[in-house]
Structures are given as structure tokens and as C-alpha cells.
Amino acid sequence: MNHAEQFYPKLHAKDQSYSAGEYHVKSLVALRVVENWAQTFNGRPVRMLDVGCGKGLFLRDFTSGIKQRYGVQAVQAAGVDLVRSPGDHFAEICDDFKFCQLNLDGATLPFADASFDFLSCNHVLEHIFETEKLLREFHRVLQPQGLCVISVPNTSAWVNRLFFLFAGQPLGSELGTEKVTYGFWPASLQHKLEKFTPSGHIRDFTPRGLQDITAHCGFETVGWWKQSHGTVARLGNWAGRGLAIVLKPSAAGVR
């Protein structure tokens, strides 16, 4: 058993809200690239995969959104995660939702090539050591006209730029497994963060970094999603603490 297989089950057991993040999905559904993609199915079920699916809240909301806005009639959905979270919403996505319990770091996804029309991965890559290997697996299981949505914490978020001015630690960056407060300034912020525990972040991302690593693994950027709620996060694609990129497989293929 590796560190991840020990750390994350304990985290789920201690924090029932872990893996239950909710995002501004309406803004993703409204993107022109999503509209163009959704209108190609003509009644055929959309095959969807959520990597790091948690309780299934994102896929539930996204599925509901494309059905209401674009008339998508049916979906076939699967999810992969290291831990099966209690209180999941899988049955609200589709009747035959397939869940696969798997340590994603260094693994081969248990699906055939070009199995899915849509792949999502929300706030998982920051936990992964072999990031390129997992991204190449995304490319392998996604069909050539499919869409891939990946989100991570945004190290270059506007609030973090303020912290950098005072040599402070950016929100979302973790230095250990016992506390999240190392390096934060001012002291009042450290006090507010004391109630939180580390969630296992080992990678940091900026917009350019996320774009570069996904291009290296065979993807082309076709949009950005303003993922986070809140006024500041709605000001720009890169303003909020959640950074989300919309991709399609590139003609150049995997490098």
C-alpha cells in the first residue's frame, strides 16, 4: 500500500464534505465549444467519463445542463476514483453508472481506446506524481472529436498574486500533510485556515503551465471555463482560484 492509499481514505473518513465540490457548471455548459460539441449527437447517447469523480456532483450538474440546454437525450457515464465516497449521486446521472475504484497515479485507465465523447477531471492533477502519464491516458480513451475538461487550483489567481508581494504562500499550495497554514500571511489568515487539513496537493499550476503540459500530451486548447463562484472569479478566465481548461485531441497527437 502506498502513501496515497493510506492518506485519502482517512481524509474521506474524517471530512464528509471532501470530494463534494460544486462549481459554476452553467458557465461551462454555455461555452460555444460545448454547444458545438453537444449538437453533434443527434439522439445518440453521450459517453462520459469523470476521472476523480468524487460523489458525482459535477457530472450530475453537467449532464443536467446539456440535456436542458441542448436536448441531449441520453448519457452513458462512468467514474474513477481512489475512494468511493459515501452519499454519492451516481444514480442521478444515469441508471447504469459504472464506478471503478483505482489509484490513478501511474495507472492505466480500464477502458478501451476512444471509449468516451467527454472526459472531465476536476482538481485531481494537483495530487498526481505522474501527471503526463495520466494525461496521455485521457488522450487514449477520448475519441478524436471528444472534449476534455481539466481543472486544478490556480497558483496565479489574483488573491495569490497579493500574497506573493509579501513572500506569502499561495492558497492551494501545500507544504506538508499536517497543516495548511505554513507560510501564510497575515496571521489572521493563518487563524482562519487552522480548521482546514491538507488534501494532498503536490503540483502547482498556472494557466501557461496547464496549457503547456496538456499540449505536450496531445491536446489542443479550445476554451477556458470560469469555474469558481464569486465576483472576482467571474472577472476573467484566470482570475479565480479554480483554473479550468477545455481541450480536444490535437491533430499532432501525443508527443
Amino acid at 109: L
Pairing of strands 242-249, 219-225: antiparallel
DSSP reduced 3-state for 118: strand
CA torsion, ordered 147, 18, 213, 36, to nearest 10 deg:
20
Q: Write out the H or E segment, with its range, that includes residue 84.
A: none
DSSP reduced 3-state for 13: helix
pTM value? 0.93
Count of helix runs (H) and strand runs (E) in the chain: 8, 7
Q: Please list the pLDDT of the chain residue by residue as tens digits (255 residues).
A: 567 777 777 776 666 666 667 899 999 999 999 999 999 998 899 999 999 999 999 999 999 999 999 999 899 999 999 999 888 999 999 999 999 999 999 999 999 999 999 999 999 999 999 999 999 999 999 999 999 999 999 999 999 999 999 999 999 999 999 999 999 888 888 888 898 889 999 999 999 999 999 999 999 999 999 998 888 788 889 999 999 999 999 987 666
Q: Please tell me the distance from the alpha carbon of residue 26 to that of residue 61, in angstroms, as a whole number.
A: 8
Cell reading at 210 = 496547464
Q: Which CATH architecture has domain 3-156+204-249?
A: 3-Layer(aba) Sandwich (3.40)
